[in-house]
């Protein structure tokens, strides 16, 4: 048994993230389970347990089918696997839109049961009252505007936002509304660069871009996308590692060796 005392958990805090507005860019990735989260934890300022896990981990067609229980299960794993980064857990579709009271009950449950440091929810001005209600009651909220996947059925798919300049004022009003309501950071997803730049200049909280350009105060990507595990990643993803190919090769080698009876070999057998 190890006599080493466990290292204290000293996480990056919500105010520390908020204070990075206009400063050193904020690094973030998604993570859904303990092993990958432990690796991401060494480099990320915050880790998002995104509801994209419905598509990435569970093969769903959209994030709409994700339940609060699923978010809690993966949120717990990520918190357990990490010690340094702030962990933010997504509120799934249907768990917060109905009223500020319902949102509080569900967000408090997510925070209690996962021990995460903040929640994220989608929506601009229409969610401002809820964001205010949560933050005034001790729940830090990261907002998310632009392409909001939970509304993909209303939007008619996953469409880049702000292609027409006359749509910009509505997005800018959304950004200002969530910042005024108390959100500590704002995800801008799938939006043209000039709009992301205008919003970043207009709000006093850090903007976190995903498909929204380097004009934002920080960046986030879905881990599996940047690791090459998604055969059709969106245009805005840069693939930093070819894990899909590596896993394919490793599985092929294993299958060959099992068939040739060369695995298990000397080193893998108890004599």
Positions touching ligand KIV (CB under 6 A) are 30, 48, 50-52, 90, 144, 187, 189, 210, 220, 222
Q: Closest distance between ligand KIV and the C-beta of residue 52, in Å?
A: 3
Between residues 35 and 256, which has the closer beta carbon with respect to ligand KIV? 35
Between residues 89 and 134, which has the closer beta carbon with respect to ligand KIV? 89
Catalytic member of 122, 172, 189, 224: 189
Strand partners, 221: 29
Non-local (6+) Cβ contacts of 129 within 8 A are 100, 181
Q: Closest distance between ligand KIV and the C-beta of residue 261, in Å?
A: 43
Q: Does residue 189 have an active-site annotation?
A: yes
Between residues 48 and 128, which has the closer beta carbon with respect to ligand KIV? 48
Q: Distances in Å between the alpha carbon of 104 and those of 96, 214, 253? A: 8, 33, 50
Between residues 119 and 192, which has the closer beta carbon with respect to ligand KIV? 119
Q: In terms of DSSP bridges, do strands 118-122 and 141-146 run parallel, antiparallel, or are they unpaired?
A: parallel
Structure letter (DSSP) for residue 265 = -
Q: Closest distance between ligand KIV and the C-beta of residue 226, in Å?
A: 12
Strand partners, 87: 47
Q: Closest distance between ligand KIV and the C-beta of residue 148, in Å?
A: 9
Between CA 200 and CA 194 the distance in angstroms is 10
Torsion of CA 11, 241, 143, 47, to 10 degrees: -20
As annotated, the active-site residues are: 189
């Amino acid at each position: 048994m190890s006599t080493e005392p466990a290292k204290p958990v000293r996480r990056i805090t919500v105010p520390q993230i908020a204070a990075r507005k206009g400063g050193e860019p904020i690094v973030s990735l998604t993570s859904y389970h303990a092993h990958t989260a432990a690796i991401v934890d060494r480099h990320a300022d915050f880790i998002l347990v995104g509801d994209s896990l419905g598509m990435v981990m569970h093969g769903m067609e959209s994030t709409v089918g994700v339940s609060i229980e699923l978010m809690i299960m993966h949120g717990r794993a990520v918190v357990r696997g990490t010690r340094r980064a702030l962990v933010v857990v997504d509120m799934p579709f249907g768990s917060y839109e109905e009223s500020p009271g319902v949102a509080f009950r569900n967000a408090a449950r997510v925070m209690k049961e996962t021990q995460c440091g903040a929640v994220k929810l989608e929506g601009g001005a229409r969610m401002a009252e809820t964001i205010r209600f949560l933050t005034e009651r001790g729940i830090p909220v990261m907002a998310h505007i632009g392409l909001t996947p939970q509304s993909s059925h209303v939007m008619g798919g996953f469409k880049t936002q702000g292609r027409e300049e006359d749509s910009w004022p509505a997005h800018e009003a959304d950004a200002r509304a969530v910042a005024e309501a108390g959100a500590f950071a704002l995800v801008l997803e799938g939006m043209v660069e000039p709009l992301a730049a205008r919003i970043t200049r207009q709000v006093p909280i850090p903007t976190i871009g995903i498909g929204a350009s380097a004009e934002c105060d920080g960046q986030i990507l879905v881990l599996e996308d940047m690791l090459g595990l998604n055969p059709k990643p969106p245009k805005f993803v840069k693939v930093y590692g070819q894990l899909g190919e590596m896993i394919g090769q490793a599985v092929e080698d294993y299958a060959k060796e099992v068939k040739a009876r060369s695995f298990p070999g000397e080193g893998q057998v108890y004599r």
